[in-house]
Chain A
Amino acid sequence: MSQSIRIQLNGTEREITPAVSVRELIVSLDLEPELIVVERNRSILRREQYADVTVEEGDVIELVHFVGGG
């Protein structure tokens, strides 16, 4: 099995360790899961799903949050 998988994270290709959950991915990036919304392959994940959904090879993941805007 490969030591890493390739994903598309916020528009950038990244290599991450296999078998991590979305929650683990968020925490590994030093972000707070409660403040983040995750879109995985164009579907929005509910916050309760973060721990159960595993990041897969080729996933397109968007991590978004609220910023200042008018």
Chain B
Amino acid sequence: MTPTATASDSEPRTDPDPLVVGGREFRSRLLVGTGKYASNEEMVAAIRASGAECVTVSVRRVDLDRTRDEAILHHLDPDEYFLLPNTAGCYTADEAVRYARLGRATGFTDFVKLEVIGDQETLLPDPQATIEAARVLADEGFKVMAYTNDDLVTALRLEDAGCAAVMPLASPIGSGLGVVNPHFIRQIKRRLAVPVIVDAGVGTASDACYAMEQGVDGVLLNSAIAGADDPVRMARAMRLAVEAGRAAWRAGRMPVRGVAVPSSPDHGMLD
């Protein structure tokens, strides 16, 4: 009899293939953000549906007027989810280092999603400042997961700086344009020893699947789920897409041919 278990529940047990970053194992290769949701309830439901373990959070001033309950720890259980503080919104290395230290001081983690923006309009990263901040933070013992562009040389420098993972963008943050340069993503993956996680620009499930099919170790996204009409449904689609893309990459795709090759036997045809 053929086993009839689904990929999502049978594969992890029979064929373990976890994402490992900085010595820590994650139960999902999908990492998700917690921003831009219409409500905290929707955010929690979507994150649950995504199957992600690693969720990014931002460090911000407490709203002393308390117009709404922004404290993520009131909504997400840090025993259930791995909270990854980011340095989003930082434009200099010093600023990013400051935010990273504040994130670590919460006492939950020494991981940081390093992000130093170089241009306000495109939100493209500042490679030089990112490398500089990565070096400082890695020396301080941080496990740095660095958001970067899809440039191989920058990725290599970030690895040299001591990053635990390098996270090239698929396309600009929040754009939903998908993987604009799969060749560069494959090149980065081929040359780096540390995990490569595609971060930013994924718009829909096929983008996430396609990113994983390039052989990368994971995908990090936020807007694609939070900005969908039905975030919970899209979160589930992303979970399946990342699993499918990973499985397809491990399976090794068939070669692309310029001509048709029949799938049915050409013998045994009737006269």
B60 located at the interface, meaning its Cβ lies under 8 Å from any Cβ of chain A in the complex: yes
Check B107–A65 contact: CB distance below 8 A: no
A-B contact count (CB 8 A): 91
A51 located at the interface, meaning its Cβ lies under 8 Å from any Cβ of chain B in the complex: no
Range of interface residues on chain A?
20 to 34
Contacts A10-B62, A35-B73, A36-B62 given; indicate if A68 touches B102 (C-beta within 8 A).
no
Check B35–A68 contact: CB distance below 8 A: yes
Of A10, A39, A67, chain B has the most CB atoms within 10 Å of the CB of A67
B171 located at the interface, meaning its Cβ lies under 8 Å from any Cβ of chain A in the complex: no
Q: Which of the residues A44, A65, A69 comes within 8 Å of B62, measured between beta carbons?
A: A65
Inter-chain CA distance A18–B221, complex, in Å, is 46
Chain B neighbourhood of A12, CB < 8 A? 64
Judged by DSSP, the binding face of B is mixed
Check A68–B62 contact: CB distance below 8 A: no
Nearest A residue to B75 via CB reads A68
Nearest A residue to B223 via CB reads A70
A16 located at the interface, meaning its Cβ lies under 8 Å from any Cβ of chain B in the complex: no
Check B72–A66 contact: CB distance below 8 A: yes
Q: Which of the residues A35, A37, A63, A69 comes within 8 Å of B86, measured between beta carbons?
A: A69
Contact with A along B93-113 (1 / 0, CB 8 A): 000000001110111000000
Check B102–A70 contact: CB distance below 8 A: no
Check B70–A70 contact: CB distance below 8 A: no
Inter-chain CA distance A64–B60, complex, in Å, is 5
Q: Which of the residues A9, A62, A63, A67 comes within 8 Å of B70, measured between beta carbons?
A: A67
Contact with A along B41-76 (1 / 0, CB 8 A): 001000000000000111111101010001111000
Chain A neighbourhood of B83, CB < 8 A? 66
Chain A neighbourhood of B72, CB < 8 A? 65-68
CB-contacts of B214-260 with A (<8 A) = 221-223, 226
A-B residue pairs in contact (CB < 8 Å), sample of 8: A30-B66, A39-B102, A66-B83, A67-B57, A67-B58, A67-B71, A70-B33, A70-B56
A44-B101, A68-B72, A69-B57 known; 4 other A-B pairs, CB under 8 Å?
A: A64-B102, A65-B106, A66-B58, A69-B60
A residues near B (Cβ < 8 Å) are 9-12, 29-31, 35-37, 39, 44, 46-47, 62-70
B residues near A (Cβ < 8 Å) are 33-37, 43, 56-62, 64, 66, 70-73, 83, 85-86, 88, 101-103, 105-107, 173-174, 221-223, 226
